[in-house]
C-alpha cells in the first residue's frame, strides 16, 4: 500500500511490511524486502502458438520479438479469451499490458461489435498502452481513441465519432468526455482498470467509481494492481464478478540493481555532486527524480546551462512536450531526464543505466517504482539516493 510520510518519518524511516527501516540504507531495504515479499516462481505452461488467437496476431507478437509468454500472460490470456473476469496482482515489468491486449484485440478482431475501455493512472502509461496496441493490432483495421488530458480534446471527440473499438484513457479526461456526451459507456462490454492502486493513490477513486457505475452490468472486467489496499478493495468488490485471480509478484528490488546513498550537507554541494557524477562516462542514460515540478525544472535548466544534454517532464508541461521529451530520451538524443514521480510507474524506458533520487521519494513503494526504471530486461543498473 502506498503510504504517505510526514517530514520526520521521511527523514528517518521507510517501511516494508511490518518492519521499520530506521535509516535510509539501501542494504536494509533489500534485506527487509526479501524477508517480507512473497515471491512466486511460476512455470510457464503455454507458448503463444497454444493460445486460440488469430494467426495475424501471432505474427505481430513474433515481430515484437516475443517468443515465450511471461507468467502473467501464460495464466491470464486463456482466461480472458474465455470471457472471465480477472484480478491481476502484478508488479510493473511483468508483461501485464500484453496479457490483456493480446486476447482483447483477438476478441474484437473476431467480433467487431465488441468495445473495450482501458483506464490508466497517467497520460504516459495510456500512451504506452496505445503504442503496444498498435504493435499487436497491426494490419487488423481496429480503430482506437486515446483520451488523455493535456492533448487536444476536439481531436479526441472526432476519434470517438469514428466509433472505435478501443478507448484508452485517464479518468479525468474520460470524465470530461462523459460530461459533454461525447462518450457513452453503456456500449462497452469489456473494461480494464490498469494500475488501480496508483489511480487510487493520486485521487481518482471517486472518478473510477462513477465511471464504473455507468458501465453495463453484464460485462467482462479486468482489474490489475500491484497491491490491494482497503480503498482498492472497495472498488474491486463492485467491479468484478466471480473473478479468476492471477498473482505474479516478483521481488520489489531487483537483484541486478546496485543501490547506494550519497550524503550531502547543502543544496549547492548537492548540485555540484550531481554534476560530478553525470560527468562520468559510465552514466550513459540517467533518470533523475525530484519532488516538485518547479524543482525539477530548475534542476533541468541548471544542468543544461552546465552543458549536459538534459530535459525535464512534469505536470506543468503540455502533454505533447512530455511525450516529445520521453521520445528524445528513449532515442538517446538527450541522456539525462529529470522527472517528478509521473515518470516513475509503468513506463518502459530501455537501457537506463542509472536512477538518481535527487530528492527522497514520499514512500518506500515510490522508491521501489523509481529504481525499477533501471536494471530491466536482465541488464545491470545502479540506483543512487541523495540524503542530507
Per residue in 184-205, pLDDT tens?
999 999 999 999 988 887 789 9
- Give yes or no for a contact between 348 and 320, defined as CB atoms under 8 angstroms apart: no
pLDDT confidence of residue 198: 84
* 90 DSSP assignment: E
Report the 3 state secondary structure along 63-86: HCCCCCCCHHHHHHHHHHHCCCCE
Lowest-pLDDT choice from 236-240, 362-366, 384-388: 362-366
**pLDDT category of residue 376 using cuts at 50, 70 and 90:** confident
Q: Which of 369, 111, 166, 99 is nearest to 253 (CA)?
A: 369
Q: Which residue has the higher pLDDT, 11 or 59?
A: 59
* 361 DSSP assignment: -
Taking only the tens place, the pLDDT of each residue in 94-146 is 889 999 999 999 999 999 999 999 999 988 899 999 999 999 999 999 999 99
Beta bridge partners of 221: 191
CB atoms within 10 A of CB 60: 21
Q: Which of 361, 300, 379 is nearest to 336 (CA)?
A: 300
Q: Which residue has the higher pLDDT, 24 or 231?
A: 231
Taking only the tens place, the pLDDT of each residue in 204-223 is 999 999 999 999 999 999 99
How far is it, in rounded angstroms, from Cα 65 to Cα 26?
34
Average the pLDDT over 35-39 and give the result: 31
Proportion of the chain above pLDDT 90, given as a percent:
59
How far is it, in rounded angstroms, from Cα 298 to Cα 248?
39
Taking only the tens place, the pLDDT of each residue in 303-340 is 999 999 999 998 888 878 888 998 999 999 999 999 99
Q: Please check the confidence at residue 9 and state whether its pLDDT lies above 70.
A: no
**Domains of the chain with bracketed CATH:** 48-248 (3.40.50.300), 254-387 (3.40.50.300)
Q: Which of 158, 127, 61, 62 is nearest to 322 (CA)?
A: 127
Amino acid at each position: 500500500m502506498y503510504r504517505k510520510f510526514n517530514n520526520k518519518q521521511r527523514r528517518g524511516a521507510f517501511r516494508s511490511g511490518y518492519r521499520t527501516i530506521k535509516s535510509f540504507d539501501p542494504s536494509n531495504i533489500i534485506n527487509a524486502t526479501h524477508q517480507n515479499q512473497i515471491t512466486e516462481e511460476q512455470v510457464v505452461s503455454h507458448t503463444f502458438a497454444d493460445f486460440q488467437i488469430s494467426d495475424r496476431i501471432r505474427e505481430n507478437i513474433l515481430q515484437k520479438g516475443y517468443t515465450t509468454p511471461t507468467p502473467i500472460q501464460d495464466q491470464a490470456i486463456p482466461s480472458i479469451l474465455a470471457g472471465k473476469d480477472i484480478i491481476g496482482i502484478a508488479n510493473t515489468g511483468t508483461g501485464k499490458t500484453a496479457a490483456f491486449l493480446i486476447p482483447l484485440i483477438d476478441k474484437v478482431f473476431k467480433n467487431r461489435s465488441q468495445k473495450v475501455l482501458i483506464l490508466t493512472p497517467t497520460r504516459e502509461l495510456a500512451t504506452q498502452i496505445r503504442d503496444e496496441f498498435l504493435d499487436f493490432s497491426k494490419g487488423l483495421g481496429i480503430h482506437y481513441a486515446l483520451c488523455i488530458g493535456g492533448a487536444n480534446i476536439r481531436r479526441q471527440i472526432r476519434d470517438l465519432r469514428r466509433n472505435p473499438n478501443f478507448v484508452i484513457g485517464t479518468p479525468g479526461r474520460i470524465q470530461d468526455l462523459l460530461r459533454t456526451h461525447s462518450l457513452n459507456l453503456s456500449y462497452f462490454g469489456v473494461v480494464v482498470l490498469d494500475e488501480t492502486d496508483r489511480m487510487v493513490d493520486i485521487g481518482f477513486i471517486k472518478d473510477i467509481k462513477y465511471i464504473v457505475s455507468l458501465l453495463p452490468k453484464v460485462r467482462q472486467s479486468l482489474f490489475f494492481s500491484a497491491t490491494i489496499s482497503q480503498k482498492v478493495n472497495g472498488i474491486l468488490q463492485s467491479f468484478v464478478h466471480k473473478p479468476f485471480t492471477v498473482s505474479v509478484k516478483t521481488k520489489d528490488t531487483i537483484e541486478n540493481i546496485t543501490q547506494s546513498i550519497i550524503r550531502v550537507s547543502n543544496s549547492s554541494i548537492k548540485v555540484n555532486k550531481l554534476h560530478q557524477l553525470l560527468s562520468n562516462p559510465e552514466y550513459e542514460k540517467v533518470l533523475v527524480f525530484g519532488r516538485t515540478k518547479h524543482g525539477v525544472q530548475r534542476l533541468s535548466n541548471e544542468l543544461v546551462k552546465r552543458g549536459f544534454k538534459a530535459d525535464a517532464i512534469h505536470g506543468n508541461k503540455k502533454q505533447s512536450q512530455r511525450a516529445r521529451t520521453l521520445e528524445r530520451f528513449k532515442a538517446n538524443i538527450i541522456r539525462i531526464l529529470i522527472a517528478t514521480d509521473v515518470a516513475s510507474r509503468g513506463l518502459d524506458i530501455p537501457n537506463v543505466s542509472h536512477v538518481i533520487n535527487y530528492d527522497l521519494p514520499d514512500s518506500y513503494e515510490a522508491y521501489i517504482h523509481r529504481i525499477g526504471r533501471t536494471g530491466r530486461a536482465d541488464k545491470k543498473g545502479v540506483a543512487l539516493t541523495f540524503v542530507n
